[in-house]
Amino acid sequence: MKKEIKRLPETYLQEAKKMVLKHKKKKKCNKCFDRGYLGITEENMLIPCTHCIDSKSLFDEWKAYVKTIPELSELYGDSLEEKEEEKEEKKEFKKEKKNWE
């Protein structure tokens, strides 16, 4: 039994490509050939270049963008919320770890 793949609609892929270019740290990159991304996954999502893109700011902008569009929120909202919960758990763990020391 195959799991259904959530594919990003093509119109939003174009928006993602524009976002990637806004977060470039370098003008020239031999790893991604100045595109800002290495390729596209089977989910139709970009793989940002780790060499020339500020991934954290790109992901923050993408999360904000997804939250503003109902279609994307429905597709990816759950996975973004889980990551925020994981961050909170890590912060709590760090606080507890400091208390142990």
40 belongs to a structural domain: yes
Position 87 scores a pLDDT of 63
85 belongs to a structural domain: no
- Alpha helix ranges (H) inside 5-69: 10-22, 55-68
Q: Give the range of the structural domain holding residue 45, as residue numbers without chain letter.
A: 10-76
Position 14 scores a pLDDT of 92
Q: How many structural domains is the chain composed of?
A: 1
3 belongs to a structural domain: no
68 belongs to a structural domain: yes
Alpha-carbon span 90 to 31, nearest angstrom: 32
Alpha-carbon span 11 to 78, nearest angstrom: 21
81 belongs to a structural domain: no
Summarised one tens digit per residue, pLDDT across range 38-49 is: 999 998 889 999
Walk along the chain (101 residues) and give the pLDDT tens digit of each residue.
566 777 888 888 999 999 999 999 988 999 999 999 999 999 888 999 999 999 999 989 988 888 888 888 887 766 666 555 666 666 676 666 566 65
Which single residue is written with the structure tokens 């990003």? 8
14 belongs to a structural domain: yes
69 belongs to a structural domain: yes
29 belongs to a structural domain: yes
Report the predicted TM-score, pTM, of the whole model to 2 decimal places. Answer: 0.69
